[in-house]
Structure 1
Amino acid sequence: MEYRVLPRGGERISVLGLGSGSLTGTEEEMENVIRAAIQNGINYFDMAPSEQAPFYAYAKAFTGYREKIMTQMHFGAVYKSGKYGWTRNLSDIQEQFIWELNLLGTDYTDVGFVHCIDDRDDLEQVMSGGLWDYMKVLKAEGKIHHLGFSSHNPDTARRLLDTGLVDMMMFSINPAYDYQRGDYAIGKVAERARLYRECEQMGIGISVMKPFAGGQLLDAKTSLFKKALTHEQCFQYALDRPAVMTVLPGIRNMQDLDTALKYVTAAPEEKDYSIIGEFTPQDAEGICVYCNHCQPCPKGLDVGLINKYYDLALAGDEMAADHYRKLPLHADDCIKCGHCESRCPFHVKQESRMDEIAAYFNN
């Protein structure tokens, strides 16, 4: 299992986490799935199931592992009826959080998320209705180690990032949504890409929901591109976005877990998602997404990193120029052989872009 380090805190997070929204079966079956996930190196768990039942399985499976795993609890997801419900009522949220801590036998959650905040009115309610203040108090008391939120909307997300208090964001990332296909494809191509870069610049980690667009991308009959992608391709796509720490596929049972874990040992060609270059919209053309499908560069340039540091520098990251200059080869080392442009699924004109990048950093 590969792990990535959360910039604010230093925790190591497995690149595959476990999404519990689809977890089903008997309590024993669910416990076995969760325990198998832990034993296979998964250490990041999203705590927003569709029913209350998985919490009891988590309580048993986490026994003896609490210091080795990370929980992502949602402030706004409640289970009074035994089924998932969504509320902004502060007393209900407080009651749910205390119940979860007591059931799991812990006194904190690693990440506390404002649950599903997608529009400005909802954001205003969260900020003025007491929920955000309550979560800040819990953070000060150590009952929340990191503040965060889940959203599908780049505009709303950016407003929460501007508080300066957020360490993590849960966002829907997959090639369909990023390239304006599907119900949750909120924001233009460039706007979504800019959000990911800003998170990286600010040291905010991203946990990814809906990596398969609700399963649609895995079947040609339902795919928003009319072509099926594999689990491995969807995972790799999300993990290649700036700031992404972990991807949280919805796991229903042991078979789903086994399927997800195949990513760990998959060959690079099995993870290659360059096929999406065949069906990206026109306004995605020419945008480098640092996928490195142009590699290997005959000269040895790390084309993806050169582009990333340039974009971060343009976004205001003062450290990006220093990172760029520490690279062994730079944009002005490009020999204009055309290899990268011939392989780029997004048809980026890298030769002229290398001239642009070199001019920027050499000034």
Structure 2
Amino acid sequence: MLTRINQKNEEELSILGFGCMRFPTKGGSIDEPRAISLIHDSIEKGVNYFDTAYIYPGSETLVGKALLGGYRERVKIATKLPPYMVKKLDQGKKIFQTQLERLQTNYIDYYLLHMLTDKNMFDRMVSIGVLEWMEELKREGMIKNIGFSFHGGKRDFEDIVKAYPWDFCQIQYNYLDENNQATKSGLQLAASLGIPVIVMEPLRGGKLVNNLPEEVKTTFHDCNPDLTPVEWALRWIWNHKEVNVVLSGMSDEEQVAENIRIAGDAYANSLNQEELKVFDKVKQVMLEKTKVPCTACGYCMPCPYGVNIPGCFSCYNDKYLLNDRMMRWKYMQTLGTLSVQPANASMCKECGKCELHCPQHIAIREELKKVAKEMEGILYKPMVGVVRRFLRIK
């Protein structure tokens, strides 16, 4: 297992981290003996970074059980505070105490604000004292590192990563998302600021393995038939020297074995020119299948009416490119229910300001109409309203 050094604290972290959201299940709940066995096996083979969250059903409790018997001291635990569930500081404190109890530990190595989607969400955490409280926990040794995970647009990522002296950050990054969300420039920005980067969704929840267009599979195979789509995808990310850890939500023994094997020699800057050209071909195939040629540059933002234009196009494209049946839910989640303010396509008032700044010359107003028709439907707004009321998001 290769490791990379955390530039902030000099800790040696395994380049493969265990994402604890997709444990094997049995009878509708986590298969506890099997999941614990997977965790123990991965630790014995060098994995030392485990990522869970308050909202992952049963995950923190399972991780706590798995790390008894001396394993806790051998690993770093990362878990997350959900901002959308924290309206007052006392709620955050209660959640943190629950997490310590679930994990059966008295400190968290890497503690994140979970799923920031925009700068406003971060600002709200600051305004109610969450960051100040986390700093106090850090001084007391109950938190070792303060960070955030991100699911928003490039401009918001840049604003958030510059707004605080973060100990680390976590972004979605893979060869399909090089120009989505935080983007490659965001990765490089964080690294330039000395902020370690943890990468999530390296396989897009398996979509870059199971839902690839046949042309992409053929392109990979023609270059090297011995490499699987998993290996191509992971090696592309690890080729970036700016990446410290790549999280993989491993749910069976085969996945653990394959990922650990790949992580044994996936050095930064190790892909040759021929292999890099393969990714250029793959991305060209995907671009041809993309509905809207948006690069998420963010020049169209901010929308005066609150539409997250790049986010809308990203969800719309992925629904077709990867045949993702869950994309309508993800669209509602990131652009409606969990964002500080709804930012969905039907909020567009057709002012046209965005189109004046789009370097791709996209007919944004017309495309947003298509997105709204395809991704929202008649029940969208009522469902968003119900969920936001349930989560007490104003």
Q: So what's the TM-score if we normalise by structure 1? A: 0.66
Q: Write the distance in 1 (CA, Å) between the matches of 2:181 and 2:161.
A: 17
Q: Write the distance in 2 (CA, Å) between the matches of 1:265 and 1:160.
A: 33
Which letter does structure 1 place at the counterpart of 2:161?
L
Cα deviations by residue, 1:127-163 (Å, 9 ceiling, x for unpaired): 2122222212212222111111000333222223223
Out of 262, 276, 279, the residue aligned to residue 276 of structure 1 is 279
- Match in the other structure for 2:336: none
8 Å CA contact 1:176, 1:225 repeated in 2: no
Out of 58, 67, 70, the residue aligned to residue 73 of structure 2 is 67
8 Å CA contact 2:174, 2:236 repeated in 1: yes
Does residue 96 in structure 1 map to residue 95 in structure 2?
yes
Q: Write the distance in 1 (CA, Å) between the matches of 2:7 and 2:16.
A: 18
Out of 28, 41, 48, the residue aligned to residue 43 of structure 1 is 48
8 Å CA contact 1:19, 1:248 repeated in 2: yes
8 Å CA contact 1:27, 1:53 repeated in 2: no
What aligned pairs does 1:178-217 form with structure 2 within 5 A after superposition?
178-179=178-179, 185-186=180-181, 192-217=183-208
Which letter does structure 2 place at the counterpart of 1:275?
V
Structure 1 residues not aligned, in runs of 5+? 78-85, 180-184, 285-363
8 Å CA contact 1:27, 1:54 repeated in 2: no
8 Å CA contact 2:147, 2:167 repeated in 1: yes
Out of 209, 221, 227, the residue aligned to residue 216 of structure 2 is 227
What aligned pairs does 1:302-313 form with structure 2 within 5 A after superposition?
none
- Match in the other structure for 2:306: none
Out of 26, 32, 36, the residue aligned to residue 31 of structure 1 is 36
Q: Alignment partner of 1:116: what SS?
A: strand
Aligned residues, how many?
266
Change over 3 Å in CA distance of 1:53–1:262 after alignment to 2: same
- Match in the other structure for 1:126: 125
Q: Alignment partner of 2:93: what SS?
A: helix
What aligned pairs does 1:146-157 form with structure 2 within 5 A after superposition?
146-152=145-151, 153-157=153-157
8 Å CA contact 2:216, 2:282 repeated in 1: no
Which letter does structure 1 place at the counterpart of 2:160?
L
8 Å CA contact 2:54, 2:80 repeated in 1: no
Q: Write the distance in 2 (CA, Å) between the matches of 1:225 and 1:133.
A: 50
8 Å CA contact 2:111, 2:146 repeated in 1: yes
Cα deviations by residue, 1:1-45 (Å, 9 ceiling, x for unpaired): 001110111110000010011113321111111111111100000
Q: Alignment partner of 2:198: what SS?
A: strand
- Match in the other structure for 2:105: 106
8 Å CA contact 1:117, 1:150 repeated in 2: yes
CA apart distance, 1:197 = 1.9
- Match in the other structure for 1:263: 262
Structure 2 residues not aligned, in runs of 5+? 26-30, 221-228, 288-292, 295-394
Q: Write the distance in 2 (CA, Å) between the matches of 1:97 and 1:106.
A: 11
8 Å CA contact 1:23, 1:49 repeated in 2: no
Q: Write the distance in 1 (CA, Å) between the matches of 2:264 and 2:141.
A: 37
Q: So what's the TM-score if we normalise by structure 2? A: 0.61
CA apart distance, 1:65 = 2.1
Does residue 168 in structure 1 map to residue 168 in structure 2?
yes
- Match in the other structure for 2:240: 241
Q: Write the distance in 2 (CA, Å) between the matches of 1:259 and 1:28.
A: 21
- Match in the other structure for 1:54: 59
8 Å CA contact 1:231, 1:263 repeated in 2: no
Which letter does structure 2 place at the counterpart of 1:202?
L
Q: Write the distance in 1 (CA, Å) between the matches of 2:129 and 2:256.
A: 38
What RMSD, in angstroms, separates the aligned Cα atoms of the two structures? 2.9
